[in-house]
Chain A
Amino acid sequence: QSVLTQPPSASGTPGQRVTMSCSASRSNIGSNTINWYQHLPGTAPKLLIYDNDQRPSGVPDRFSGSRSGTSASLAIGGLQSEDEADYYCASWDETLNGLVFGTGTRVTVL
């Protein structure tokens, strides 16, 4: 079972700022970093944020990540239609000895 909980949905109009949370149910992610992935159904998931708050090259700077303790957040500033997708946080779990994904947040652009 997922130990990373995300809100099921978020929405906004073009240009708005949207944020979503990722909360660990226990501290087993320890000091492992949280990464975020964007997934459009039928396509390959894409790394969006790594090491809590770092953007890979090519990812627009309207995407930003932050972390405090066992919680993390992803923000999309200046929402665009192409941002409509599912977003997952993920981290390595020291107890499960494996990777855990969050429950996912579907972002809708109104």
Chain B
Amino acid sequence: EVQLLESGGGLVQPGGSLRLSCAASGFTFSDYAMIWVRQAPGKGLEWVSGISKSGGSTYYADSVKGRLTISRDNSKNTLFLQMNSLRAEDAAVYYCAKAQWPGYPMGYLDFWGQGTLVTVSS
């Protein structure tokens, strides 16, 4: 059974940093691209970032470029999102998801985690 478990969310001040993790199990993690998607309060789903199966290619939404960094550790079946210079508009539930393909375009997202909440407030 595929499982994706996010962690690392919490309350952070504007300008602060946070590192999200997504522990994957139930599939060969190193064979697939992975994605981060977020949902701000009262808003729709927004794609944040994607990474190829090897980690060699990364993609970002314009709204997070230069501040958020996606990475993965295939030896530990774990996806990460390093979040720096956080802004109020980054507050959201962050979901990790498994992509259909190993690289870009990554296809559909067939499994999702339950999400982790990031709150940005002073």
Contact = CB atoms under 8 A, between A and B. Distances in A.
Are A and B genuine complex partners? yes
Interface of A: 2, 32-33, 35, 37, 39, 43-47, 50-51, 56, 86, 88, 90, 92, 96-104
What is the predominant secondary structure among interface residues of chain B facing chain A?
strand
B82 to A, nearest CB: 18
B44 interface: yes
B80 interface: no
A104 B44 CA distance: 6
6 contacts: A44-B112, A45-B95, A47-B110, A88-B45, A98-B59, A101-B46
B114 A43 contact: yes
Given A98-B59, A101-B45, A104-B45, A51 B108 contact: yes
A39 B59 contact: no
Interface in B53-92: 59-62
A75 to B, nearest CB: 19
Contact of A101 (B47, B114, B115): B47
Given A47-B109, A86-B44, A101-B46, 19 more contacts: A2-B44, A33-B107, A35-B108, A37-B45, A45-B45, A47-B108, A50-B107, A50-B108, A88-B44, A88-B45, A90-B45, A96-B62, A98-B47, A98-B59, A99-B47, A100-B47, A101-B45, A102-B44, A104-B44
Q: What is the interface residue range for chain B against chain A?
A: 20 to 34
B105 interface: yes
What is the predominant secondary structure among interface residues of chain A facing chain B?
strand
Contacts of B107: 33, 50
A36 B23 CA distance: 25
